[in-house]
Amino acid sequence: MQETILILDFGSQYTQLIARRVRELNVYCEIHPYNKIPEITDWIKGVILSGSPYSVREKNALIPDLSKIRPKIPVLAVCYGAQYLAQHDGGEVKASNNREYGRANLSFIDRSSNLMKGMSDGSQVWMSHGDTILNTPSTFKIVASTSDVEVAGFSIKDEKTYGIQFHPEVYHTTEGAVLLRNFVIGICGCAGSWTPESFIETTVKWLQEKIGDDQVVLGLSGGVDSTVAGVLLHRAIGKNLHCIFVNNGLLRKNEFEKVLHSYRHMHLNVKGVDASDLFLDALEGVADPEKKRKIIGKIFIDVFEAEAKKIRNILIGRHPFPGPGLAVRILGEITRERVKLLQEVDDIFIGSLHNTGLYDTVWQAFSVLLPIRSVGVMGDERTYENVVSLRAVTSTDGMTADWAQLPYDVLARISNEIINKVRGVNRVVYDISSKPPATIEWE
């Protein structure tokens, strides 16, 4: 585990930016919904409450349960979070006479406050709220003001809890990094030793332990977030990751093909799905921006779930395959030529079972290259070439198995196609041994 700053999200557009600023201080942080607070362990060194597009005065305001956090752990409440603390503790929050958006300057700074250390007179801050704190509880101490906002910042007596009505995470708050450092390093006591590189290592290891040999289906949007998630998962579980990239018909020109190419260049196992018509047909005649978003979101989920189900069915329906691969199906010496030969044979066999609808009727099917040659006749010439055996069994768990009684005409066509198309094979046999006494595999 590692020291962590917990960010509780109330829906602010800046929440991800808060996380970025914390990580720039070389401190690990996690974002969680305000109503899904994780277990508070000794590794959580501080909590940041984000802003929100909502008002604490609304009937259905977003109310967090901070009973396991205050006053045990340092808290920094930003905008909505600060207004929630003020109202919850008995203060008064009202709609501002003048909405407070954009640049402002601190006209008062309490330099005895650990949160405000090192900040300059007149320091520029960025406001973005329609409500304001009019009156504070007796336990609150004002630590920062602007000419229009008396309670621009406060601390709470006998707690390491602070609130600010401006956004320290945005670029336009010129000394926001100073304030965040004061909180994360100074007040919370974080060492600042975390790095993105260490995060990658620990995340990959955690994913490997968590997922094991399970299969994972991931939706990719083409954006940074999902791509990073895909790369990390691929590092952890490799071929067990199955990605889906949906073309909604609203991408840039040729972007679908370019992004698919990029993903494959990253060695991601990705399936591209062109669902342009579905999206564009559903959006026809719709002008309202929220309706457009909801339509796009719903169709994306529908398409993703349908494709994920297909992948799931393929994965569940796939026949078992041995860990050593074709090595245990090539009896005798393994060479590149013999591997290629068996791959060609097996592709014809399995492909034919799919084409005839027989693949799902057997538990396992495969081909075996035998360590012998046999005499044959092709045209007017005698041949002395390889023998392959086809094996198909029925079973429920692999502990016992019976040979699958495939139709003779299907076996005949498969044998004929193998001998005609795979150079080096002149005889095909079918294994009719059960388990026991034989095993399913030959080696």
Instruction: For residue 129, indicate whether it is catalytic.
Output: no
Residues comprising the chain, all counted: 443
**Measured at the alpha carbon of residue 237, what is the angle toward residues 225 and 363, in degrees to the nearest 5?**
125
Which residues neighbour 86 within 8 Å (Cβ) at sequence distance 6 or greater? 92, 93, 133, 136, 137, 140, 151, 154, 163
Instruction: Flag whether pLDDT at 404 surpasses 90.
Output: yes
6 alpha-carbon distance from chain centroid: 19
- Active-site option among 3, 100, 150, 169: 169
- CA dihedral 183→186→188→194, nearest 10 degrees, is 100
Predicted TM-score (pTM) of the model is: 0.62
Which band of pLDDT confidence, cut at 50, 70 and 90, is reported for residue 98? low
Instruction: Flag whether pLDDT at 117 surpasses 80.
Output: yes
Q: For the segment 285-324, what is each residue's pLDDT rounded down to a tens digit?
A: 999 999 999 999 999 999 999 999 888 877 777 888 888 8
Rounded to an integer, what distance in angstroms lies between the CA atom of residue 326 and that of residue 317?
Answer: 20
- Active-site option among 79, 188, 190, 243: 79
Rounded to an integer, what distance in angstroms lies between the CA atom of residue 70 and that of residue 82?
Answer: 14
The predicted model gives 345-367 an average pLDDT of 94
Rounded to an integer, what distance in angstroms lies between the CA atom of residue 130 and that of residue 55?
Answer: 8
> Which position has the higher pLDDT, 385 or 196?
385
Instruction: For residue 443, indicate whether it is catalytic.
Output: no
**In the numeric block, which tokens belong to residue 193?**
């030793």
Mean pLDDT, the chain, integer: 92
Instruction: For residue 243, indicate whether it is catalytic.
Output: no
- Return the closest-CA partner of residue 259 out of 247, 277, 242: 247
% of the chain surpassing 90 pLDDT:
79
**How high is the pLDDT of residue 100?**
67
Instruction: Flag whether pLDDT at 353 surpasses 70.
Output: yes
- Active-site option among 3, 100, 129, 167: 167
**How high is the pLDDT of residue 203?**
87
